[in-house]
Amino acid sequence: MTLHPCATRLRLCIQTILVLISVESLVSTAFAAKTRGEIDSNKNNKLTNEPSGVLSFEKPTIDFGTVNRGQKMSAVFTFTNIGKGPLIIQGVQSSCDCTTVTPQKGKVFGPNETGTIEVVFDSKDYSGKVTKALTVISNERSMSDRTLSITATVNSELDASPPLADFGKVIPNQLSQQTIHLKNKMKSELKIEKLRYNSEFLDVGYTKEGSDYAIYVKLKPSAPIGFFKETIWIENNSTALPEMPIPVRATIEAQIAATPAYIEFGSIAVTEKSARQVALLSLEGFDVTSNLIELNLNGLKSDDGQALMAVRVAPANKNSKNISLELMNPGGKSGNVHGKITLLTTNPQQKNVTLDFYAFFR
């Protein structure tokens, strides 16, 4: 059938309109997608480019000069936020237990605002030139960790040689004796008034050698398996150091040996986890039945040890076990973390294996 010329022209007009509508729809969709992309991009750029604070310390190093062993020295690090955004001190990590740090943690410092970090250094365990580092952790984007340092020259009225009783690796039935020579550097006579120590695990005595003393240290068979750590305190007539510490260290080997026996989890940010591996090896077959976690946060005992530490045992064979440890920072907690992991075993001669650990919650 032949269409009327008008009908033909009408159909062509309708087809043209439909094509134009389709093209306009495609253009509109593409433009909308491009616009959304630009908005998202601008939003992300805005978040990324938002300024943060910038730490600037007046003096990154403080020298206490010459001090007498036993003195506690305090100092204050002053900083300024030279950035264009807010600055928050999240924590300060010390390289030893000899320093007590008091930061203005959690406070928001605006641009050009100043703050302080107070540090107390205890010199009782040191002699000679000492340098200790402090790591300041903040929300600063370009450099979130900054290092401060304290230095001192420590003079001691008493000198211990060697400075600690280190037994190294020992077997319980073959415990040896260590001798510490205590040298008097005072102008007056040295008098030992009393020895304080853990008599459950140690035998300690002394003899006078002219103006000096010899301290005899012996481990008892009752000393616990694993990394052994105690301190002998020598009470004396020294003015600066009336209590002289002598550390005692040993690794007491037995049926089950742990490698490593001390675990460093490092610095852990909020909601993050840090994992470590420990190998247990024995001459006889054994199993790990359960574990106990003792956790301290900033020196205070926490009841969250079992919840924050995951312990998994993977038997390699009957004489060895691979222990996977995972410590989590749940948030709401920050500071120095240390404690003990006690692994209970089926070995009748070594019913538990103790592991010391350390971490820092950011």
In tens, the pLDDT along 185-197 reads: 888 999 999 999 9
349 sits in which H/E element:
none
Instruction: Dihedral sign for Cα 47, 48, 50, 53, please.
Output: positive
229 burial level (CB within 10 Å; 0-12, 13-18, 19+): exposed
What pLDDT is attached to residue 212?
Answer: 95
Residues 176-232 have pLDDT tens digits of: 899 999 999 888 999 999 999 999 999 999 999 999 999 999 999 888 877 899 999
On the question of pLDDT at 45 being above 60, the answer is no
What pLDDT is attached to residue 312?
Answer: 94
Distance CA 146, CA 132 (A): 14
CATH architecture of the domain formed by 158-252: Sandwich (2.60)
What number of other Cβ atoms are within 10 A of residue 138's Cβ?
25
On the question of pLDDT at 18 being above 50, the answer is no
Judged by average pLDDT, the poorest of 4-18, 125-139, 198-212 is 4-18
Confidence class for position 22, pLDDT limits 50, 70, 90:
very low
> What sections of the chain are H helices per DSSP?
5-48, 305-308
- Range among 27-36, 254-263, 306-315 with highest mean pLDDT value: 306-315
**What is the CA 284 to chain-centroid distance, rounded?**
34
CB of 137 within 8 A of CB of 362?
yes
Q: How far is CA 41 from CA 14, 45, 177, 296, in A?
A: 40, 6, 71, 45
Q: How far is CA 244 from CA 100, 157, 192, 195, in A?
A: 20, 10, 10, 10
Judged by average pLDDT, the poorest of 10-24, 58-72, 93-107, 143-157 is 10-24
On the question of pLDDT at 34 being above 60, the answer is no
Query: What is the dotted CATH code of the domain comprising 256-361?
Result: 2.60.40.10
On the question of pLDDT at 11 being above 50, the answer is no
Q: Residues with Cβ < 8 Å from 156, sequence gap 6 or more?
A: 68, 69, 127, 185, 240, 241
Of the two residues 311 and 13, the one the predictor is more confident about is: 311
Task: Output DSSP code: residue 311.
Answer: E
User: Which DSSP string do the residues of 141-184 spell out, in sequence order?
Assistant: SS-SEEEEEEEEEEE-SEEEESSSEEEEEE-GGG--EEEEEEEE
Residues of the chain with CATH 2.60.40.10: 55-155, 158-252, 256-361
Task: Output DSSP code: residue 298.
Answer: T
On the question of pLDDT at 46 being above 50, the answer is no
Judged by average pLDDT, the poorest of 25-34, 125-134, 234-243, 291-300 is 25-34
**pTM of this structure:** 0.52
Of the two residues 141 and 265, the one the predictor is more confident about is: 265
For residue 335, is it left (φ>0), alpha (ψ between -120 and 50) or beta? left
What pLDDT is attached to residue 16?
Answer: 43
Total residues found in the chain within this entry? 362
CATH number for 55-155 (one of 3.40.50.360, 1.10.274.10, 3.40.190.10, 2.60.40.10): it is 2.60.40.10
Residues 48-89 have pLDDT tens digits of: 467 888 999 999 999 999 998 888 889 899 999 999 999 998
**What is the CA 24 to chain-centroid distance, rounded?**
62
